[in-house]
Amino acid sequence: MAKLTFKTDFCKGCGLCVDACPKKLLRLANEKINKKGHHPAEITDQSACVGCASCALMCPDCVIQVER
C-alpha cells in the first residue's frame, strides 16, 4: 500500500512525473486547471501504486509526497 498526496496548486503540468512512473499510473488532468493555470498531475489508480517515489524524485516542484 502506498499513498500519493499532490500539492496541486504547485504543479506546472510539465508531465515529467507521468513519464517517470514505471507503472504508468499518472496523468495530467486535462479537464482541470489549477491556480497557476496548468493541467495538474494526478494518480489514476492509487491501489496499484507501489510507492517507489520515482515521480516525486523527478518532480522539479516538490508537488508529490509519498507514503508507504
Q: Return residues touching ligand SF4 (CB under 6 A).
A: 11-17, 41, 58-59, 61, 63-64
Least distance (Å) between residue 21 CB and ligand SF4: 10
43 near another protein (CB under 8 A):
no
CA-to-CA dists, residue 5 to 9, 45, 56, 61, angstroms: 12, 13, 10, 13
**Helix and strand element counts for the chain (H, E):** 2, 4
Looking at residue 11, its amino acid is: C
Q: Which residues bind another protein (CB under 8 A)?
A: 1-3, 9-10, 12-16, 19-20, 36, 38, 51, 53-54, 56-62, 64-68
